[in-house]
Structure 1
Amino acid sequence: MALFLLIFAVCLFVIGGVVLILLFSRTPRYRTEPEQLLELFDKALDNQVGENEWNLVINYPIRHDDYLDGVRRRAQHLMQEHGRPWQVAQGKPLLDKTGQEELAALRSHLAAHQRLRERQRNQP
């Protein structure tokens, strides 16, 4: 009988611990920040990004910042219009020449917006 109570108490402790851990743990959240988009755009302009890395960031909606989501959607549209993912394996750029130019403009616009946002945060 003592062995049964010991096993029951240990099982109850383990199951209770797991339930408590699950109750107090939160679901991890992935938040795309402007720096991540700028880094991705830089890699794409330098022909160092793969299709999978591009799709991982660009196809994930950004719900915490409408401006960033607009930039993401514009980049997604660029890929649909000017993308050449089949040529990445040959060492060629992810986007054609027009797409590269538009991505460079989008990158500079995002960088300027980020600098303005930082300047506004630092002003009292």
Structure 2
Amino acid sequence: MALYLLVLGVCLLVIGCVFLALMSVGTPRYRTEANDLIALFDKALESQVSETEWNTIIGYPIRHDEYLENTRRRAMHLMDTHGRRWQLAQGKSLLNQEGHAELTVLRDHLAAHTALRESQQR
């Protein structure tokens, strides 16, 4: 009987510790920033991005910054309009020439907007 109570007590202690640990840990959150999008656009322009990486970042909504969310949506629209997913496996560009030009403009605009925002915060 004593062994039963000892095992029960240890099990309850372990379960309680695990429960407390799970309750005290917050939910992990990924927060896409402007530099993340710029780095992704640079990799896409250099044909070094995978479709999975593109979809992971572009497919995740950005709720903390409306400008970044609009940029993300424009990039998603670019992929829908000018994307060449089937040629990515052959080592070719993710976008056609027109999409490549539009992504360059979008990347430069985002970089200028980010630089302006950083200079205003100082």
Equivalent residue, structure 2, for 1:79: 79
Equivalent residue pairs, number = 122
User: Which aligned segments of 4 or more residues in structure 1 are displaced greater than 3 angstroms?
Assistant: none
Per-residue displacement from partner, 1:17-67 (whole Å, max 9, x unpaired)? 011111111111011111110000000101111111111111111111111
Q: Match for 2:33: what amino acid?
A: E
Relative to the length of structure 1, the TM-score reads: 0.95
For residue 111 of structure 1, report the CA deviation from its aligned partner: 0.3
- Following superposition, the deviation at residue 78 of structure 1 comes to 0.3
Give the AA of the match of 2:3. Answer: L
Q: TM-score, normalised by structure 2?
A: 0.97
Q: Please give the alpha-carbon distance, in whole angstroms, between the structure 2 residues aligned to 1:111 and 1:15.
A: 50
In 2, distance between residues paired with 1:83 and 1:113? 25
Name the residue aligned to 1:43.
43
Tell me which residue corresponds to 1:110.
Answer: 110
Separation in structure 2 between the aligned mates of residue 75 and residue 33 of structure 1, nearest angstrom: 15
Structure 1 unaligned blocks of 5 or more = none
Q: Distance in 1 between matches of 2:114 and 2:24?
A: 35
The 1-side partners of 2:7 and 2:35 are apart by: 52
How well do the aligned residues superpose, as a CA RMSD in angstroms?
A: 0.8
The sequence identity of aligned pairs, in percent, is 61
Cα distance in 1 for residues equivalent to 2:4 and 2:89: 62
Partner residue in 2 for 1:20 = 20
